[in-house]
Chain A
Amino acid sequence: MTVTESQKLAYVAGQAAEARVNLEIETEGMTLNLGPQHPATHGTLRIVAKLDGEQVVACEPIMGYMHRGYEKLTEVRTYPQVTTLVNRIDWLGHFANEVPFILAAETLMDIEAPPRAQWIRTIFFEMARIANITLFLGDMGVQLGALTPVFYAFRDREYVLNQMEAVTGGRFHPNFDRIGGLRDDLPKGWIADTKAVMDKVRNFCDVMEDLLVGNEIFDSRTRGIGVIPAEVALGFGLTGANLRASGVDWDLRRDQPVGLAWNEVDWKVWTHPDGDSFARYWVRLQETREAAHIIDQLLDNIPAGPVMAKVPRIIKVPEGEAWVSTENPLGEMGYYIVSKGDLGPFRCKIKSASFNNISVVPWVTRGVYVPDVITILASLYFILGDIDR
């Protein structure tokens, strides 16, 4: 089923018109606070919804309950210390947060990690993606009332985290990436174990396809709900699967020459033309499969060699400015580093994916029902730490 652009706009206009009609007959509105403590916000996000009956007239996310001021904190830390902070931005996609920062520092220092480090980085990046998105795939069911899938998600994510832990020593905050390479090499036997885990991940994707994608209630709850046309998605700066679900074929892994190994293997960027909640779920499901596929291929061909380039003992990044972003599990995450040749960044602008992704909520929730707000929030998929930083 493909939905044309005009159909999407007609849907949006229809929703808005309905909300207007209800306003005109002057039923008394109600303001509903979703959050800061609310199961649907999985974190401390607050959403103030002005309701007319159960229909949303206006909706405004309010955040900052978890604002930790990382941009200020980076200014009093050295470059190697910053990775510890950025791990905690999108805490489910842990490793993926470190990579763009390290790449930005490497860009300024004009050094490049050895090929083996680049490949292992790519593998971990994709494993972080799996660890992150599997939880989304299950959590979407919870938000819609299906409790079982999330347990499968937790179970299968654990396998991936175990593999991360085997190498980095940390399940959630590996802090493994270094300027110029990686802290350590892979342990013995890890590659075979990881391949077995990737089979489990693929199996998990199949299960989710059966449990949720093939479910009629899931279908009726997500199809045509929260339609974001491509132009709106671009204007609000949506990235990642949210943008691809609106039919925009844009993936930084493929479209931006970063020194990682994505271009060495064969994979596909998935898009969906509908732009609704279902499309966002579907695209992420395919991406998880694709990530397992990428890891499988990378594991087969890891080049030999060191995992650390020659870097100075005391890392001073030369003066300059650099913007490096990568396709993180939640979308484009980037760091704009301004260096003054010091031990730490002079200014580090952290552009996180969820912040942009969630900024479309006031636009997209106009005129929908309260349960759809939950669906839309869940399908946009945010991590609180990624919004508030």
Chain B
Amino acid sequence: MTPLSSPEPPEPGESTSNADESLVGEATEQAAEHQREQAAPTSGGEVEGLPVTEEGGEPEAATAPMPPADLTGEPTADEEVAPEQVEATAEAAEAEGHAEGTAAGAGGAGQSDPGQAGPESPPVAEAMASAAEGVQPEPAADPEPEPEPEPVDPTSPASADELRLGLLDVLKTELGEAVVGAHIRDGNDLWVRVTPEAWREAAQIAKGKLGCRLFVFLNAIDWMPSPYGRSENSGFDAPAATGEGGIVTGYAGGDTRFQVFGRVHNHEKGYGLILKVDVAEPEVGVPTWIPVYPGANWHERETWEMFGIAFSGHPHLVHLYLPTGFEGHPLRKDFPLLAREVKPWPGIVDVEPMPDEDEAEAAAEQPATEEPAQ
């Protein structure tokens, strides 16, 4: 991995910390070795490595890439990832199902910001406590049916999309082990997850090497299931949401409750790229993208105020939408939507099952209840 010089003129806000550099340097040493190690497993990856959703609503789809990530990621994970992740990795490797590991992760994430739950919202604390205990029974629809014996490289999703495989190869060549997850939907999109240290570098490579000069957006996801369900007072689907307690991340995997993701686009060739990064500690956050894409400025401010995720090196991290003194981060799942507490969403009745059938049945009969439109 060669250190890239920023194609943008340096702005006053740019500050690449030395810590970042050294980490990147360490990663560089490992990169070549790691790739040699990975050569063999990669070829065996196509069996499980296509976690697509086209088949329908099987819940395993979104989580499939993750367990393999843990299985094969051991040599690399020790080097650079957060301790929580290592823990999760170790536990998942015991093939006990990763519910425990992720529950612990959720607990860690939840405990990191206890101040967010106001005194008026006991459900938050409750949910956190239950998540932290990690003794939740395994959900009925456990995402992982059986740990696959053959190791699969999470960064090499099986795909027939030559273009996006090529893009992914470029990123892997440049970033080495910093690429920790990837997903391709053929002919549509590419998801790549990188380590926090490589976050800005990934953007630089996307801009410089992949020609993605058009910045589209940057935002974050809170993967914790909402402790409130769809409607606080309806009790309609609240049990399903709170009962799981675990964090199930989406495409390209993930180990933390918060993920920052951004999209950049190559307007000449007509492909885009969604970059994801795990945020273990929101207060520390990830490096800012402003030196690469000046348009990231407001998006990072929005992400900061909505999720409380900091962006190191951002020159002006203040509220964008909300009043200056606003407390809390509205788009976090544990931030209650007060409008729903005052008055449940009346439209919720539209989607409740018919009076004579219960919800599970409704779900089971779903294909049968199709009605021809018009």
Are A and B direct contacts in the complex by CB distance below 8 Å?
yes
Residue ID in chain B nearest A78 by CB atoms: B351
Question: Which of B114-122, B163-171, B209-217 lies at the binding interface?
Answer: B209-217
Q: How many residues of B contact A (CB 8 A)?
A: 68
Interface: A363 (CB within 8 A):
yes
Classify the secondary structure of B's interface with A. Answer: loop
Interface: A38 (CB within 8 A):
no
Bound Cα distance A185, B297 (Å): 44
Tell me which of B191, B215, B222, B295 has the highest count of chain A C-beta atoms within 10 A of its own C-beta. B295
Interface: B50 (CB within 8 A):
no
Residues of chain A within 8 A (CB-CB) of B231 are: 76
- Residue B237 contacts which of A239, A255, A325, A342 (CB distance < 8 angstroms)? A342
Question: Which of A145-153, A195-203, A308-316 lies at the binding interface?
Answer: A308-316
Bound Cα distance A161, B156 (Å): 50
Query: Scoring A residues 154 to 168 as 1 if CB is less than 8 Å from chain B, else 0, what string do you get?
Result: 000000000000000
Q: Tell me if B215 and A81 are in contact (CB < 8 A).
A: no
Q: Tell me if B294 and A235 are in contact (CB < 8 A).
A: yes
A351 to B: closest C-beta gap in Å? 4
Question: Which of A62-70, A209-217, A218-226 lies at the binding interface?
Answer: A62-70
Q: Tell me if A309 and B373 are in contact (CB < 8 A).
A: yes
Residues of chain A within 8 A (CB-CB) of B53 are: 108, 110, 318-320
Interface: A332 (CB within 8 A):
yes
- Residue B366 contacts which of A243, A248, A314, A323 (CB distance < 8 angstroms)? A314
Q: Tell me if B57 and A319 are in contact (CB < 8 A).
A: yes
Question: Which of A93-101, A130-138, A333-341 lies at the binding interface?
Answer: A333-341
Q: Tell me if B270 and A255 are in contact (CB < 8 A).
A: yes
Interface: B372 (CB within 8 A):
yes
Residues of chain A within 8 A (CB-CB) of B250 are: 319-321, 338
Q: Tell me if A311 and B373 are in contact (CB < 8 A).
A: yes
Q: Tell me if B230 and A344 are in contact (CB < 8 A).
A: yes
Residue ID in chain B nearest A64 by CB atoms: B321
Q: Give A37-96 interface residues, CB cut-off 8 Å to B.
A: 63-64, 67, 69, 71-73, 75-78, 81
Q: Tell me if B351 and A347 are in contact (CB < 8 A).
A: no
Residues of chain B within 8 A (CB-CB) of A15 are: none
Q: Give B275-329 interface residues, CB cut-off 8 Å to A.
A: 293-295, 297-298, 306, 319-323
Q: Tell me if B62 and A320 are in contact (CB < 8 A).
A: yes
Q: Tell me if B213 and A234 are in contact (CB < 8 A).
A: yes
Residues of chain A within 8 A (CB-CB) of B219 are: 336, 349
A364 to B: closest C-beta gap in Å? 12
- Residue A78 contacts which of B217, B272, B350 (CB distance < 8 angstroms)? B350
Interface: A180 (CB within 8 A):
yes
Residues of chain B within 8 A (CB-CB) of A316 are: 57, 363, 366
Interface: A379 (CB within 8 A):
no
Bound Cα distance A259, B320 (Å): 35
- Residue B214 contacts which of A234, A321, A349 (CB distance < 8 angstroms)? A234
Residues of chain B within 8 A (CB-CB) of A341 are: 57, 59
Interface: B370 (CB within 8 A):
yes
User: Given the known A-B contacts A234-B215, A308-B373, A312-B369, are A388 and B321 also in contact in the complex, defined by CB atoms under 8 Å?
Assistant: yes
Residues of chain A within 8 A (CB-CB) of B369 are: 312-314
Interface: A355 (CB within 8 A):
yes
Bound Cα distance A307, B374 (Å): 8
User: Given the known A-B contacts A71-B331, A323-B189, are A78 and B347 also in contact in the complex, defined by CB atoms under 8 Å?
Assistant: yes
Interface on B for A, CB 8 Å cutoff?
Answer: 8, 52-59, 61-62, 185, 188-189, 191, 213-217, 219, 221-222, 225-226, 230-231, 237, 248, 250-251, 261, 263, 267, 270, 272, 274, 293-295, 297-298, 306, 319-323, 330-331, 335, 337, 340, 345, 347, 350-351, 353, 362-363, 366-367, 369-374
A-B contact pairs, 7 of them (CB 8 A): A75-B226, A316-B363, A319-B61, A319-B250, A321-B62, A334-B217, A336-B274
Top-3 shortest CB links A-B: A308-B373, A320-B53, A64-B321
Known: A318-B53, A319-B57, A343-B237. 16 other contacts (CB 8 A): A64-B321, A67-B321, A77-B345, A110-B56, A185-B374, A232-B294, A234-B213, A237-B293, A255-B270, A313-B371, A316-B363, A319-B61, A320-B62, A340-B225, A341-B57, A347-B222
